[in-house]
Amino acid sequence: MTETNGSCCAGPGYASPEEAIKAPREKVVYTICIYTGTGIEKPDYLATIDVDEDSPTYGEVIHRTEMPVIGDELHHMGWNACSSCNTDGSMERKYLIIPGVRTTNFYIVDTATDPRKPTLFKTIDGEEIKAKTNLSAPHTVHCLGADIIVSMLGDADGNGPGGFLHLDKEFNIIGRWENDLGDMKYNYDFWYQPRHNMMISTEWGSPNTFMPGFDLEDVARGKYGQHVHFWDFENRKVEQSIDLGPEGMIPLEARFHHNPDSTHGFVGAALASNIFHYHKDNGKIEINKIIDVPTVDVEGFPVPMPSLITDILVSMDDKYLYFSNWLHGDLRQYDISDPANPKLTGQVWIGGLLGKAPEVNGRTVDGAPQMIQLSLDGKRLYVTTSLFSTWDNQFYPSMKDKGGIMLIVDCDNENGGMTIRDNFIVDFNNEPHGPARAHETRYPGGDCSSDIWI
């Protein structure tokens, strides 16, 4: 699946973000589907979805690549190679690396031989990873030139702080990537900006805390994170940890600008429902809250309801920030041309607990916008509704029996604005083995959370 990028370079991906924006439009997308926690005793799988508007199977699941065991809880995935390998003609964006957060198994799926029917190429046993690295619960996967690093949320017994797994390009376990975790208590997402020797990592909680479900008392007990960590990337050690305080409770997704010369980026604090902006333009890290989504009083909810910002992303041209509010049920677009002063330019409602859009495109929404993935040209935002099986069952129990959905939100990338496409909905209630949850989505040629430039 080496994309024809029109650049001078022989490797995968694109020579620059500007070249990535010109990429051919996607024909299929890949989405993780989950039976873990539904009561259906079947393996999780990777769904191939036809998104070619001229195809007779447009909007349908056209293939399912099942994993070999039950109960992985496939969560996030990444490519074996991205634009960081653009000058390396020996590399190819061929394999999706799909870990199971509950089993620590890694599945390497070949998407290049037949993009419409991916096949399982290799399995890395989770017990082998635990034995060799004392790490478990994989989350974010980034390629790092020819190597791969993965944030791991716990030790072999499910306790914090976790660390980072290092694989080579043949998917052999090298060991732990980091040299020094500093004061890191928990782990979650990470992103790096090599030209500035910067990496940021965030904090959720230990697997033993979040896997059974969310308990408000665990927040008071300090079992969820509120720090972000800036790394000396070359020396693989935490250089500075910053306590975001109560306004930064549970910082999850982190995104740098795609421009490799920029030091600017954003972090979404899920429970506090704030967006922070950081940069190092003045020689030191500066980080400030720039967006605050207010809580809402909802009858029967034990506390003022936070919006719960669970996913964020930045468009490839670095002009727009998108994020999902999983409890409130809205999806937002902000113009971040001035990254310290964002302007709300678009908002749509999909499900949620505020009752703003209980039905979309003729289907009751069991859940709310959660994972989002934007096309390289910034025009098509794919949205799915599942967060994590035990949390789904807690906040949206009907998803267990009716499954998740996928929608496309069309984005105006010139003037701002968002519209839910009315002729597209993938209803995972109709899957052959029964209703499935839908989680992260990837585009075969790269998307706005795949590629990093070195």
pLDDT in tens, 206-245: 999 999 999 999 999 999 999 999 999 999 999 999 999 9
Comparing CA positions, the residue from 64, 25, 70, 83 lying closest to residue 449 is: 83
Residues 426 and 61 sit within 8 Å (Cβ to Cβ): yes
Residue 164 forms beta bridges with which residues? 151
Name the residue range of residue 381's domain. 17-442
pLDDT for res 146: 83
- 7 pLDDT more than 60: no
Query: Residue 334 maps to which CATH number?
Result: 2.130.10.10
The stretch 283-306 carries a mean pLDDT of 96
Q: Is residue 133 a part of any domain in this protein?
A: yes
Q: Is residue 450 a part of any domain in this protein?
A: no
The one-letter code for the residue type at 220 is: A
The stretch 371-384 carries a mean pLDDT of 97
pLDDT for res 8: 63
Q: What proportions of the chain, in percent to the nearest 5, are helix, strand and coil? A: 10, 40, 50
The stretch 164-172 carries a mean pLDDT of 97
- 363 pLDDT more than 70: yes
Q: Is residue 194 a part of any domain in this protein?
A: yes
- 376 pLDDT more than 80: yes
Dihedral angle at the C-alpha atoms of 423, 424, 429, 432, nearest 10 degrees? 110
- 3 pLDDT more than 80: no
Q: Is residue 37 a part of any domain in this protein?
A: yes
Q: Is residue 6 a part of any domain in this protein?
A: no
Mean pLDDT of the residues in the chain? 96
Q: Is residue 8 a part of any domain in this protein?
A: no
pLDDT tens digits, 19-78:
999 999 999 999 999 999 999 999 999 999 999 999 999 999 999 999 999 999 999 999
The stretch 281-287 carries a mean pLDDT of 97
Q: How confident is the model at residue 5 (pLDDT cuts 50, 70, 90)?
A: very low
Query: In whole angstroms, what is the distance from residue 454 CA to residue 281 CA?
Result: 18
pTM: 0.96
Q: Is residue 70 a part of any domain in this protein?
A: yes
Residue 324 forms beta bridges with which residues? 311, 331
Q: How confident is the model at residue 4 (pLDDT cuts 50, 70, 90)?
A: very low
Q: How confident is the model at residue 144 (pLDDT cuts 50, 70, 90)?
A: confident
pLDDT tens digits, 107-121:
999 999 999 999 999
- 92 pLDDT more than 70: yes
- 281 pLDDT more than 90: yes
pLDDT tens digits, 303-359:
999 999 999 999 999 999 999 999 999 999 999 999 999 999 999 999 999 999 999
Comparing CA positions, the residue from 126, 122, 254 lying closest to residue 199 is: 254
- 167 pLDDT more than 70: yes
Q: How confident is the model at residue 145 (pLDDT cuts 50, 70, 90)?
A: confident
- Sheet hosting strand 198-201, strand order edge to edge: 190-193, 198-201, 227-232, 237-243
Report helix, strand or coil for 46.
Answer: strand
C-alpha atoms less than 13 angstroms from C-alpha of 111 in its C-beta half-sphere: 32
pLDDT for res 10: 84
**Domain total for the chain?**
1
pLDDT tens digits, 416-439:
999 999 999 999 999 999 999 999
| Helix runs in 189-309, H state only | 207-210, 216-220
H or E, element range at 251: strand 251-256
Q: How confident is the model at residue 2 (pLDDT cuts 50, 70, 90)?
A: very low
DSSP tag of 247: G
pLDDT tens digits, 68-86:
999 999 999 999 999 999 9
Q: Is residue 104 a part of any domain in this protein?
A: yes
Query: In whole angstroms, what is the distance from residue 163 CA to residue 317 CA?
Result: 31
